[in-house]
Structure 1
């Protein structure tokens, strides 16, 4: 039987923020300070072999701290937020059952929320989705949008592209509930404390450029070539990863290494901005300066003084 909220020995800790801000290092340091174990919440670090391009923490950098949900998928598999929620909560329960602290580390905002918040994932119906897709191709999106406005005006006002409109109609057809009713509230599933790394944006821009150039020097092209032989292009999630998209074009002769690196830098900076926007919208996050010499002390204090 899983523990009740009251029986949990301590809150789940989450270290969040943009890519390149030092989340992995802080996660390890917190684990060493608080007798914890790390759970990966970066969707692309689920993949075996995607090491250089995802800046995956190395075995040495883990400093003997157990890390969960790293290297659990092949590049041909599609990552699922719903599956991650189940796996992550099982890992949290396991870590807590051994009297240790679960420390979630990652910048994939929806995955973090799926782990921490009350968040339901409606199922799928491939046949229903196929019918809706065929109708969209045959009649255009307007009739589907009109139908969505009748059953779920909130989603109709929010969703623009065909894929999301079809998904909203699929969920309504499957559950009888509007898709908008599944939108998460900011309500923790169990006690949690989130620590966000506050960055200097210009310095982060420079750091991300240096990091991409270092990835190239460490063999990103060779890593992509190796993964291409394992089916990288057929993986819906992995094939879209920053750096991997660009260097597949290098392999195809469509881009030079220099152009691929520059394109990756631009895309990574844009991604970091989106991450900051996402996490800034959550008022529950305690923000700490990423370069504060007392960062670990303040992070530990935030955890120990958090309401249980």
Structure 2
């Protein structure tokens, strides 16, 4: 197991995490390990703001482009892959805004089994009645889990109820703790909300200009619409609705901006709860030096 602390660059989308991670890797002789759940998918490049080969500046990047868009995301599978890389890399720099994936990589996190019959019954109920009654059931059985799951997130509600029924234990007992498997230094990039909202809108517009619609159209030929995870990704789901004639292109873009802003607030809330994250202003002129000082430790700041 790696003795070098894992460096993690976290925070909301559009904060500049990928660029800082490359800067740190170049300075420290490190390699980047992706912790963005959607960058795991092949072909989902523009809509996930995946760094180009040139933007990676020669730094090895691990766990990009490993799944087809038809594959359902698995945090348990990601955990195995991420830890294998962390153990093999001298200076791992974990980077991404998927909080559960970051925690799965570096912290104790259980993955209870699954029972297809229970899952199928709950998913059928979700399809027929929507998430609200299932969420109310979860609130009764495990208030702590319900408080940590959005009432609209049917997939996670189903999973929580499945684990409760299967194990007889609260789902919250399996949720991530702050018990670390690896020592880590976590740098959070802080962006004032008005600036973050503006950066998100600009990023979405640039994605459209870079050819997001054509990217989605090509991925539809590879099964994107059938992908339970990839097909629901921000930007991709909205473009699909445009291409299917349900929305105008302007509606799809506006909804992508709105939902990405909401997602960024959830990301920030998730990382703010972790007392280990050390926050720095995203636009500090000496951001790299301040990050390096945090990594070196208090005595070196």
Q: Quick check: 1:59 aligned with 2:53? A: yes
Per the TM alignment, residue 217 of structure 1 is displaced from its structure 2 partner at its CA by 0.9
Whether the 8 Å CA contact 1:17–1:198 is kept in 2: the answer is yes
Other-structure match for 2:93: 103
Helix, strand or coil: the match of 1:86? Answer: helix
Q: Quick check: 1:13 aligned with 2:3? A: no
Mapping 1:234-245, distance limit 5 Å: 234-245=226-237
For residues 224 and 134 of structure 1, what CA distance do their matches in structure 2 show?
28
Other-structure match for 1:219: 211
Per the TM alignment, residue 44 of structure 1 is displaced from its structure 2 partner at its CA by 0.5
Mapping 1:1-308, distance limit 5 Å: 3=1, 8-95=2-89, 100-131=90-121, 145=137, 149=141, 155=145, 166-305=158-297
- CA separation of 1:262 and 1:131: change in aligned 2, threshold 3 A: closer
Per the TM alignment, residue 133 of structure 1 is displaced from its structure 2 partner at its CA by 5.7
For residues 165 and 219 of structure 1, what CA distance do their matches in structure 2 show?
35
For residues 163 and 33 of structure 1, what CA distance do their matches in structure 2 show?
40
Whether the 8 Å CA contact 1:37–1:102 is kept in 2: the answer is yes
Per the TM alignment, residue 129 of structure 1 is displaced from its structure 2 partner at its CA by 2.8
For residues 295 and 31 of structure 2, what CA distance do their matches in structure 1 show?
14
For residues 231 and 125 of structure 2, what CA distance do their matches in structure 1 show?
29
Structure 2: runs of 5 or more not aligned: none
Per the TM alignment, residue 254 of structure 1 is displaced from its structure 2 partner at its CA by 2.0
Moved more, 182-191 or 285-294: 182-191
For residues 280 and 155 of structure 1, what CA distance do their matches in structure 2 show?
18
Higher gyration radius (CA): 1
Helix, strand or coil: the match of 1:225? Answer: helix
Whether the 8 Å CA contact 1:193–1:306 is kept in 2: the answer is no
Helix, strand or coil: the match of 1:9? Answer: coil
For residues 172 and 158 of structure 1, what CA distance do their matches in structure 2 show?
15
Per the TM alignment, residue 27 of structure 1 is displaced from its structure 2 partner at its CA by 0.4
- CA separation of 1:269 and 1:10: change in aligned 2, threshold 3 A: same
TM-score (norm 1): 0.86
Per the TM alignment, residue 199 of structure 1 is displaced from its structure 2 partner at its CA by 0.8
For residues 196 and 45 of structure 1, what CA distance do their matches in structure 2 show?
19
Root-mean-square deviation over aligned CA pairs: 2.7
Helix, strand or coil: the match of 1:216? Answer: helix
Whether the 8 Å CA contact 1:48–1:73 is kept in 2: the answer is yes
Aligned residues: 293
Per the TM alignment, residue 201 of structure 1 is displaced from its structure 2 partner at its CA by 1.6
Per the TM alignment, residue 277 of structure 1 is displaced from its structure 2 partner at its CA by 1.1
- CA separation of 1:292 and 1:76: change in aligned 2, threshold 3 A: same
